[in-house]
């Protein structure tokens, strides 16, 4: 939390609806720090400036922490109650729960994202709004900027599964483009070639399907599915 926000924090708090009304100041500050870290945001994400207040020493606006003007603050209360319910009521119902017990926190889902979206959700939205080429550029960019942050799952299966879902919706061109991009990062994967073979087969592109199935067998000689598909197409594996 920025130092200017710490300096503005009052000793007594107003409008606390989920947290205890007599919560110690250092405890509340620790909780707020947890929010900002987990969501990758700052105080302004939930709070609004105090109207008519003079700027602080650094020229930054004074915050009105008690105001409920922003929907993000109201949503935060819902999320806090949800976490409280999961940890206090749902997880204790687990049979043979391991110890020490693991509880969920904001970081469990958000991992530095204000809106906790998986990689396939992000790419799917981009495909819908801007097309698959934009989604592929986004994918490459995210691998460069976020691969080490833990925000997204960049394993091979993430894009493979998205491509298969697109193909099941008839969006085979988009699916093939995504698989081709994924192959750049996983060139030794026979599963990508097999998935491309399945889509070519779906499109009635026999020759391309054969090429993909054979490529899968080169990388994975024991791939029984690829062998079976070649046999179905009348080709010796």
What is the separation of C-alpha 94 from the centre of its chain, rounded to a whole number of angstroms?
26
pLDDT, tens only, 106-155? 999 999 999 999 999 999 999 999 999 999 999 999 999 998 888 999 99
pTM reported for the whole predicted model? 0.80
3 pLDDT more than 80 = no
Q: Which residues contact 45 (CB under 8 A, 6 or more apart)?
A: 36, 39, 70, 72, 114
Mean pLDDT across 7-28: 83
Q: Is 237 among the domain residues?
A: no
Contacts 24+ apart (CB under 8 A), 224-227: 225/194, 226/190, 226/193, 226/194, 226/197
Together in a domain, 56 and 140: no
Q: What is the CATH number of the domain that holds 205?
A: 1.25.40.10
Together in a domain, 133 and 41: no
Q: How confident is the model at residue 6 (pLDDT cuts 50, 70, 90)?
A: low
pLDDT, tens only, 177-231? 999 999 999 999 999 999 999 999 999 999 999 999 999 999 999 999 999 999 9
57 pLDDT more than 70 = no
Together in a domain, 71 and 151: no
Q: Is 75 among the domain residues?
A: yes
**Residue 5's pLDDT is what?**
54
Mean pLDDT of the chain: 91
**Residue 1's pLDDT is what?**
47
Q: Is 104 among the domain residues?
A: yes
Identify the domain containing residue 126 by its residue range: 119-232
Burial category of 187 from C-beta neighbours within 10 Å (exposed 0-12, middle 13-18, buried 19 and up)? exposed
């Amino acid at each position: 939390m920025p130092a200017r926000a710490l300096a503005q924090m009052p000793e007594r708090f107003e409008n606390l609806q989920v947290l205890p009304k007599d919560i110690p100041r250092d405890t509340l500050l620790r909780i707020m720090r947890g929010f900002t870290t987990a969501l990758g945001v700052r105080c302004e994400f939930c709070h609004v400036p105090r109207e008519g207040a003079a700027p602080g020493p650094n020229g930054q606006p004074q915050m009105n922490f008690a105001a409920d003007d922003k929907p993000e603050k109201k949503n935060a209360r819902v999320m806090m109650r949800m976490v409280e319910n999961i940890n206090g009521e749902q997880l204790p119902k687990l049979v043979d729960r391991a110890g020490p017990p693991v509880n969920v926190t904001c970081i469990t889902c958000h991992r530095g994202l204000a809106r906790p979206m998986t990689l396939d959700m992000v790419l799917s939205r981009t495909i819908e709004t801007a097309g698959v080429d934009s989604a592929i550029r986004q994918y490459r960019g995210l691998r460069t900027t976020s691969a080490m942050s833990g925000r997204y799952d960049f394993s091979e299966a993430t894009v493979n599964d998205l491509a298969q879902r697109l193909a099941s919706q008839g969006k085979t061109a988009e699916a093939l483009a995504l698989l081709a991009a994924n192959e750049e990062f996983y060139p030794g994967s026979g599963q990508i070639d097999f998935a491309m073979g399945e889509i070519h087969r779906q499109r009635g592109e026999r020759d391309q399907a054969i090429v993909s199935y054979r490529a899968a067998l080169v990388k994975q000689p024991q791939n029984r599915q690829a062998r079976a598909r070649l046999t179905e197409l009348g080709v010796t594996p």
